[in-house]
Every structure is written in structure tokens, then in C-alpha cells.
Structure 1
Amino acid sequence: MKVGSGTSKLKMTLALSTLILFAVVFIPQCVGEGSIIGIIGEAAILPCELNFMTPVSIEDINFEWRAEGDIVDAFVKGQHELTNQEKQYRNRTELFITELAPRNLSLKVSHISPNDRKVYECWFFIDEDRNGYLDKWLLKVAGHYSEPLIKGPAKTDLRNRDADFICAATGGYPEPKVHWFINQKKVPPQSNRINTTITNISSEKYDVKSVLTINMTDDTSVYCTVENELLKEERKSTDIQYLVKTKNELHSGDRRHWWIAVIVAVALLVIIVIVAAVFRSRNNSASSGNNYDQAQQQVRTWNEQNPLQSINAED
């Protein structure tokens, strides 16, 4: 009984070992489900690879990618098979399997759009014992928003008045979050001072416009950010500043500017008068010198013409 029992246990151990070896050698390892982000208008690659150890020929592999039951792409006995491909994916898919890389079953999907947000499964078939799905991926879709533009009120006399600030960004996906900052402090998103409107301009893009109303009691610095949570991307606007002034301050500033202008004008006038006087004085001096020189020249000329009279005059 002991010998028979030992033999039975040995057979069971061998059978179990064979089963485990078969599982390791012939059954592929499923990576599990993950997620990949595809950017609208660009391409996304969904990885899939045969991981079992036995040699495999490309002619023996049959596999297909499925999304919600639809055939996205397929490969049958060494050939790219598109007969049953879902219309949505036509001319947009690419496979990487080759003679040199027979285990690479990855899929490339081009021109990503929000309609491509689905769960994709990589299924393979080699024989009755070697088949099943290898990888499962959730393809998420996103698009970058433009840098937000911010605009403030045109008025300058804002003390103790409500002022509207506008923040706008375009062309992103999915819907964003807008955050406002006043003097570097974040405004609570649920604040009733914020009114945000998101517009679906197409099936693939959103525009966002947010208005923040502030009661201007002091000098204020304002900026906004637009956040795409899926991309973990937050874009910031420029920082605009408003110096709050009362009417009296404005008028006082205007008067001060007026007096400065008057003083500058008077100073310029005085300088012009002084320069003109100096210039005139120099002209008069030059004119007197010229007259004296002319008289001396006339005397010398007369003496040359009347030498005798000049001698008598000297005697």
C-alpha cells in the first residue's frame, strides 16, 4: 500500500509539474488593463506582445484587436486582414508584426478623436490550446488648451466699484477647470463671484470663458489658469495689475502734471530769451569791430594816395 501510494503521489506530482510547465511555456501572460492617453489629431500606440517561451512563426499567428466587440484590426496566417474591420478605423490603423518581430502585436491608431475613447483588447489564436486575450487598454482622449488670455476693465476710476475680469482659452479636451488668483491668492472655485461658461465648439474641442467680479477696494493683481486634469497640464495667463485711485487723486495728479508742464514751459522760455540776448550781444560786438577796421583801412588808403599831405600833417 505504501508503494502504491507513493507511486500515485509521484504520478500526481509529475502531472502537476507538466501542467505548470505547459502553462508557463504555452499560455501567454496577460498584462492586465491599463490606460493610454491619445492626443486629438495625433497617433496612439497600444502595446501587445506574445510572452510565452516556445518559438513561433508569423504564419502560425492569428490575432485581432477589438473595441466593444468591433474589429479594429486583424492579422491572419501571415497576412493583414481588414475584411471585417469596423468602418470607424479604416485607413487609421497599423500593425508592427514582422518576420523579425513575430511577437509584437501592438496596434497604432492615427488621427485620434473623442470617438476613440474605448477599451481595446488584443486577442490571439495559435491553436486550440494557445488562444485568449493578451492585453486590455483604455484609450483616453485629450487635447491641449491654448494659453489663457485675460482682460480687465477699461475704466481707471474703480475704487469701491465692481470690476469684471475675463479669462478665455480655446481648443482643448475634455472640459477644463478655470482657477482665479487675486494678489497671488486662489479664489475658491465655488465662489459666486465666478461665472464660467464652457462651449462645445465641435465634437472634439471645447472653448472656455470665465468672468470674475471683484469689488475694487485696493490695488489689485489678477491672473487665471486653465487646467486639463487628464493631461495634468495647467496653463497660466499673464498677470494684470490695477492701481485703484479716487477722483480726487486723479484730479490731484492731473493738476500736478499741469503745474509741471507750466514750469517746464517757463524754464524753456527763459532759456530761449537768455540765448537770444547772448547771441545779439555777440553780433553787436562783431559789428563794432568791423566798423573800426573799416575806418582804419580808409585812413591807410588815403595816406597812400596823398603822401605829401600826410607828411605835412605830421609836421
Structure 2
Amino acid sequence: MSALLGLGLLLSFLTYTTGLGDGCVLGVVGQPASLPCFHDALKTNSADVSVEWRTAGKVVLRSEWGEHGRVDAWSTSGANGTSVSSDAPQTGNFSLELSTVSPNEPQTSYSLFLMLSGEEQSPPLCTVCLEIAASFSFPLLHREDPVESDETVFICRSSGGFPEPTIHWLIDWTEEPSWDSVRTLTAQLPDSLLYNITSRLTVNVTQGTSVSCIIENPVLNETLTSISYGVQVSQVVRRASEAMWIFSTALCVVVGVMIFAGVVYQIHLDRTHKRKHKGKKDSSRYTDETVVMHVEQVETLTEANV
């Protein structure tokens, strides 16, 4: 009888629900999130309480309580570790806890239902909107100066964000380039479902012109800006630089060859000098030996005459 009385009291308060209205709960990819649902009418000590959290018509979590507390709880394989507090019937806190937020749809609504006898269910007690987002990397802005034309190409890249961002280009902080000068490619990665974005701006700019690439993620209220302050390099300067580089390279090669030739010539001189020095020593020794022999011959003749 008390269980039926509690159930009747519960149904009489179904018009009182706690949600976020037009606002949504922010879920950051890879982090936990809590979808709040506090319902005083669900506070009861009676047995046989069963609730379901659903999204897009699919059950993501079902919990049942009996006389001795929760007797059963299960979630779908894609529910990312969903759970509800074990003492929810006593506290009225039936908030859905997500252990990890994964990017699916940018915005998803979750509803809590009270399960009645059989397959009947109450109207939704709570409906909570979950808005999913992930930060983009800081945009990398690359500038390619013209070679054969007067137009400069700017390439801006950012990755790893959710949902699909918006990108803006500004010239000198205020001027927006024409739509046909911008080409933007957005790709969603098949594994992580996160987005990579690449945008290309082709424009004729003068010296000292600043070009800004702006990536916006409105869900996170996040704006990332990368700026190029480079000076356009004229074709004449570029050709002069290339000629100077070629001349410097050729000069280095010539100097290297001259140094090598000098080293080889010095080695040749050293060897020639050593050979001449050795020849003089041999000639001097031969002369000394000849003088000694001559002296010995004179002494021999002298002794013979005596």
C-alpha cells in the first residue's frame, strides 16, 4: 500500500522537472561529464524503483532498486561508463555520470524515465542537453611569397577540434578578403571523429601588410588567431638574392680549389727540398772519402821512396 501511495505521489509531481532549459551541459571530449537531474518527487524509501536514461530513443542506462538497495544496473556498450548514484531514490539525485565524453553529434538530449509496471513508462522526468566540444590546436600560418605572379599565398592549418569550426581571414585587422580568394577544406578523422581544417588565401598584398587567420569554436567560446607580419619579397630582390647565392657558392668552390692546389704544391716543394738536401749529403761524403784515399796513397808512396 505504501509503495502505491509513493508511486501516486510521484506521478502527481511529474510536472516538476529539473533541466537546463535552453542551456546545455558542456561536455569536453576525453573528460567526464555530469548530466544533472534532481527530483524531490523521486525521494522514496519504497521498493521496486526502476529508471532509464535514454537518448535518441535508445536506452543508455537502466537502474533498479529493491528493498535492500540497488539490485540491478546495466548500460549499453556505447554508453561510455554511464552510472547513477546507488542511493538515488533516497537523495533524489538521479544525475547521469559519463566517465568519458566522445564526439558523436555536436548536441544530444538525454531524458530520464520512471519505469512503471510492465513496459509502461512515465513522461520524461528530466531532459538534459549535452553539447560536445574539443579545443583546436593553435593555427599554423604559412606564407608563400610569389615567384612568377604578384599574389601571395597564405595557408592556415588547425587540428583536433570539435565540432566543425568557422574560419575567418582579415587583412590589416579589418578588411575581409573576397570569398573567391579563400579555399577551405574541413576533414573529420574516421577514428576520433575530430576535425582538421586547412584554409588557403591567395591575395595581392603590399609590403608591411598583416594577414590574420582566425579559428572560432563557438561552443567553447574559443577564438584562436595567428598573424603574418612578413614583408612581400619582390621578384627583382629574389633574383638578386639567388644570383648572390650562386656567386658566393662559386667563390667558395674557387677558394677551396686554390687552397687545395696550394697544399699540394707545398708538399711537392717539401719533397724536392728533401731530395736536394739528401743529394748534397751524399756528394759531400763521396768527396771526403776521395780525399782520404788520396792522402793514403801519398803516404804509401812516401814510405816506399824512403
Q: Match for residue 299 of structure 1?
A: 287
Deviations 1:206-250 (A, max 9, x none): 554433222033266656342212123445669695641233x34
Q: Confirm or deny: 8 A CA contact 2:19 2:36 kept in the other structure.
A: no
Q: Confirm or deny: 8 A CA contact 1:43 1:112 kept in the other structure.
A: no
Cα separation, partners in 2 of 1:168 and 1:49, compared to 1, 3 Å: same
Cα separation, partners in 2 of 1:284 and 1:101, compared to 1, 3 Å: farther
Cα separation, partners in 2 of 1:215 and 1:101, compared to 1, 3 Å: same
2:79 equivalent to 1:90: no
Q: Match for residue 173 of structure 2?
A: 186
Judge which range, 108-117 or 295-304, deviates more: 108-117
2:79 equivalent to 1:77: no
Q: Match for residue 107 of structure 2?
A: 117
Q: CA deviation at 1:139?
A: 1.1
2:107 equivalent to 1:107: no
Q: Match for residue 152 of structure 2?
A: 163
**Which whole-Å CA distance do the structure 1 matches of 2:58 and 2:261 have between them?**
95
Q: Match for residue 137 of structure 1?
A: 128
Scaled by the length of structure 1, the TM-score of the pair is 0.59
Deviations 1:151-200 (A, max 9, x none): 55474355xx1233333445643331113355xx4354575465354657
Cα separation, partners in 2 of 1:215 and 1:311, compared to 1, 3 Å: farther
Q: Match for residue 14 of structure 1?
A: none
What SS does structure 2 have at the residue aligned with 1:186?
Answer: coil
* Gapped regions of structure 1 (runs ≥ 5): 1-25, 83-88
Task: Report the AA paired with residue 186 of structure 1.
Answer: W
What SS does structure 1 have at the residue aligned with 2:204?
Answer: strand
Task: Report the AA paired with residue 200 of structure 2.
Answer: V
* Gapped regions of structure 2 (runs ≥ 5): 1-12, 117-121, 302-306
What SS does structure 1 have at the residue aligned with 2:94?
Answer: coil
- Alignment identity in percent? 22
Task: Report the AA paired with residue 201 of structure 2.
Answer: L
**Which whole-Å CA distance do the structure 1 matches of 2:275 and 2:47 have between them?**
116
**Which whole-Å CA distance do the structure 1 matches of 2:146 and 2:108 have between them?**
50
Q: CA RMSD in A?
A: 4.9
2:206 equivalent to 1:195: no
**Which whole-Å CA distance do the structure 1 matches of 2:130 and 2:164 have between them?**
17
Q: 1:38 pairs with 21, 27, 30, which one?
A: 27
Q: CA deviation at 1:290?
A: 1.8
Aligned length: 270
Q: Match for residue 5 of structure 2?
A: none
Cα separation, partners in 2 of 1:284 and 1:236, compared to 1, 3 Å: same
Cα separation, partners in 2 of 1:251 and 1:137, compared to 1, 3 Å: closer
Q: 1:308 pairs with 296, 303, 306, which one?
A: 296
Task: Report the AA paired with residue 195 of structure 1.
Answer: V
What SS does structure 1 have at the residue aligned with 2:24?
Answer: strand
Q: 1:287 pairs with 275, 291, 300, which one?
A: 275
**Which whole-Å CA distance do the structure 1 matches of 2:32 and 2:167 have between them?**
28
Task: Report the AA paired with residue 296 of structure 2.
Answer: L
Task: Report the AA paired with residue 245 of structure 1.
Answer: S
Q: 1:210 pairs with 174, 199, 217, which one?
A: 199
**Which whole-Å CA distance do the structure 2 matches of 1:75 and 1:242 have between them?**
65
Cα separation, partners in 2 of 1:260 and 1:207, compared to 1, 3 Å: closer
Q: Confirm or deny: 8 A CA contact 1:44 1:112 kept in the other structure.
A: no
Cα separation, partners in 2 of 1:76 and 1:239, compared to 1, 3 Å: same
Task: Report the AA paired with residue 229 of structure 1.
Answer: P
Scaled by the length of structure 2, the TM-score of the pair is 0.60
Task: Report the AA paired with residue 77 of structure 2.
Answer: N
**Which whole-Å CA distance do the structure 1 matches of 2:294 and 2:177 have between them?**
116
Q: Confirm or deny: 8 A CA contact 2:106 2:133 kept in the other structure.
A: no
**Which whole-Å CA distance do the structure 2 matches of 1:200 and 1:49 have between them?**
39
Q: Confirm or deny: 8 A CA contact 2:210 2:227 kept in the other structure.
A: no
Q: CA deviation at 1:294?
A: 1.0
